[in-house]
Chain A
Amino acid sequence: MAEPVLQVSGLIKSFGGVLATDNVHLTVLPFETHAVIGPNGAGKTTLIAQLSGALRPDAGEIHFKGRDITHFPPYRRSLAGLARSFQITSVVQEMTVLQNVALAVQAHRGHSFRFWHPAAADRELIEPAMERLEQVSLAERAHDLTNALSHGERRQLEIAMALATDAELLLLDEPMAGMGIEESSRMVSTLQALKGEKTMLLVEHDMDVVFTLADRISVLVYGKVIATGSPEEVRSDDAVRRAYLGDEVA
């Protein structure tokens, strides 16, 4: 078996009395699309937040490409090759779409202690940023401010920013949340185009989407991973049917 991209072991996080992450073990293999599903409040966002460094786990370890990143701050995880999108969209306000992506490029082109040359005229930033925008079909909005974007476009922008960091692993927290049918099918095709090229950890609610995109699925219930396997395996897993799919799908 290839060396895993991401190896999570014994991860624990509690909020007061709530065990949001309960001894989670998770392995993400190179270039797979690994979906994490589970009912609301299962701890999916909490898990992503710990992987991206926004939240500190109480216990456990996170290894990324063999490196222990458990104690890395978010920016160092990003520099190591991990990118996240947020369940609640998060882009830089009062800046254009292009500037947002250019910033993501800039963060990965050495230090930013460059005080004189205008960044807007910096082809080393603008060209790759435009490429990423084309990749998510947002190029025509490049010069609009982010608050002029629709919800779906903002999500596309988040993907472009993640791609602009040249991340190897994308952590995507419900990238289709709150989208209309048209928008979400656009997102699905964007992700489908990335499938096999990037490693993805995808938190998603929509079962159709999950079964379309995922190579493997982990099921999270009350902070615990109760099953991991191929879509077929997970679909036929008794514990999963009882705890989750049963009442949702039926």
Chain B
Amino acid sequence: MESRSANGLMGKVLNLSFNGWLMIVVLVIFAFAPVLTEVFNQPFYLDVATRLVILAIAAVSLNLILGFGGMISFGHAAFLGLGAYSVGIPFYYDIYNGWLHFALAIVVSAVFAVITGAICLRTRGVYFIMITMAFGQMVYFAGVSAEEYGADDGLSIYVRSNFNGVLNFDDDTSLYYICFVSLLVALYIVHRIVNSRFGMAVRGAKGNEERMRAVGFNVYIYRLTCYAIAGAMCGFAGALLANFTDFISPEMIDWTRSGELMFMVILGGSGTLFGPFLGAAAFVGLDVFLSQYWVHWRLIFGILLVLTVLFAKGGITGVVANLESMLRRTRGRGSSAAKADGEGPDG
């Protein structure tokens, strides 16, 4: 084998791919986001960062099934909604216990994922996309028709999840760090999962389903489990989102929301560990920037998605990896390793 494995942490750092560096820089910036917004006196941007980080968790969870599992779900926002309503509905009945809210968000989402996934995963291709979307819309219409909880207008949440002083959801900086650490944990969980035996089974089924069956895998059961894990993770993000926005409404579940999550995954680089975070950052960044000029900019985000798929396969992560291997080649240091590093799940 090549001698690209220099020893020790120092060697590892020096050997980092561009994507590795990008990840470190982005993580450092986000780790200091509250400080930066404070220094520059821009509290609005802490709000932006919080929303971004929450959406990134949702995108990371979608990436687990879409990017690594090849399950193109167009109904992922349903889990955001289920998580959010798991905070909103107990609040409505004066139940503020945060442990309960989040446990509910995770369990309800996982159960919904198992039930709907059991049906969706019997279909393939376009049918899978359509049926996941249909189940998503079902949750949306359930929200719309839930008169008790505000129906279309939604429900304001005046008391955030209460963790008996262990976690403080009321302070902006504290809430931000809760979300940011949650994102780090989500990334780490996904990193472990996709490289585990389970992850290999799921990724193998994306690469060649028939082959995986012929070789002895019960593809269906591993996919369903993966779907449930992703659903639970997104439900968790939904519970954070409800706390952050102090508001729940069916609009969080609409299929366009699912499309946005998909956009983040694909724009950032689906099937890479860090891509969805980059995609979420790009999406929210664009949202904040373009909304100043044109409130309906989202109308064109479909076009952006098509452009990404056509011209930047692999999204941001792919572009950075290609750039790196191009630079290395012109410098005469032939390196396919750079590409493999960048596009691998460890990128």
Interface residues of A (CB under 8 A from B): 52, 54, 73-75, 78-79, 83-84, 86, 90-95, 99, 102-104, 106-108, 112-120, 122, 125, 143, 161, 165
B196 in complex: contacting residue of A54, A94, A116, A161, CB < 8 Å: A116
Q: Is residue B198 contacting chain A, with contact meaning CB distance below 8 A?
A: yes
Q: Is residue B203 contacting chain A, with contact meaning CB distance below 8 A?
A: yes
Given contacts A90-B208, A92-B204, contact A78 B197 (CB under 8 A): no
Identify which of residues 206-223 in chain B touch chain A, using a CB-to-CB cut-off of 8 Å.
207-208, 210-219, 222
What's the least CB distance linking A160 to chain B, in Å? 11
Given contacts A75-B213, A95-B203, contact A112 B195 (CB under 8 A): no
Residue of A nearest to B207 (CB): A92
Q: Is residue B118 contacting chain A, with contact meaning CB distance below 8 A?
A: no
Identify which of residues 1-42 in chain B touch chain A, using a CB-to-CB cut-off of 8 Å.
1
B225 in complex: contacting residue of A74, A113, A125, CB < 8 Å: A113
Interface contact A78-B215, CB-CB below 8 Å: yes
Cα(A122)–Cα(B193), bound, Å: 14
Cα(A91)–Cα(B204), bound, Å: 9
A-B pairs with beta carbons under 8 Å apart, 15 shown: A74-B213, A74-B214, A78-B213, A91-B211, A92-B207, A92-B208, A93-B208, A94-B207, A107-B212, A107-B216, A114-B197, A116-B196, A117-B196, A119-B199, A120-B195
Interface contact A90-B210, CB-CB below 8 Å: yes
Interface contact B197-A112, CB-CB below 8 Å: yes
Chain A residues near B328 (CB-CB < 8 A): none
Interface contact A103-B201, CB-CB below 8 Å: yes
Residue of A nearest to B271 (CB): A94
User: Number of B residues whose C-beta is below 8 Å from A?
Assistant: 26
Chain A residues near B1 (CB-CB < 8 A): 143
B204 in complex: contacting residue of A78, A103, A118, CB < 8 Å: A103
Chain B residues near A73 (CB-CB < 8 A): 213, 218
Cα(A84)–Cα(B211), bound, Å: 9
Q: Is residue B192 contacting chain A, with contact meaning CB distance below 8 A?
A: yes
Q: Is residue B304 contacting chain A, with contact meaning CB distance below 8 A?
A: no
Cα(A115)–Cα(B230), bound, Å: 13
Identify which of residues 156-201 in chain B touch chain A, using a CB-to-CB cut-off of 8 Å.
192-193, 195-201
Q: Which of the listed residues A52, A94, A99, A122 has the most CB atoms from chain B within 10 Å of its own CB? A: A94
Interface contact A103-B196, CB-CB below 8 Å: no
Chain A residues near B208 (CB-CB < 8 A): 90-93
Chain B residues near A86 (CB-CB < 8 A): 211, 214
Chain A residues near B198 (CB-CB < 8 A): 112-115
Given contacts A99-B200, A103-B201, contact A165 B212 (CB under 8 A): no
Given contacts A90-B208, A92-B207, A95-B203, contact A107 B196 (CB under 8 A): no
Interface contact A103-B213, CB-CB below 8 Å: no
- Kindly list 9 other residue pairs between chains A and B, CB separation below 8 angstroms, not including A73-B218, A113-B225, A118-B196: A75-B216, A86-B211, A92-B207, A95-B207, A106-B197, A115-B198, A116-B193, A117-B196, A119-B195
Interface contact B217-A112, CB-CB below 8 Å: yes
Residue of B nearest to A90 (CB): B211
Chain B residues near A120 (CB-CB < 8 A): 195
Cα(A90)–Cα(B215), bound, Å: 11
A92 in complex: contacting residue of B192, B199, B212, CB < 8 Å: B212
Cα(A102)–Cα(B218), bound, Å: 16
Given contacts A75-B219, A94-B207, contact A119 B214 (CB under 8 A): no
Interface contact A107-B217, CB-CB below 8 Å: yes
Chain B residues near A75 (CB-CB < 8 A): 213-214, 216-219
Interface contact A102-B200, CB-CB below 8 Å: yes
Interface contact A107-B193, CB-CB below 8 Å: no
Interface contact B197-A117, CB-CB below 8 Å: yes
Interface contact A54-B214, CB-CB below 8 Å: yes
Cα(A125)–Cα(B197), bound, Å: 10
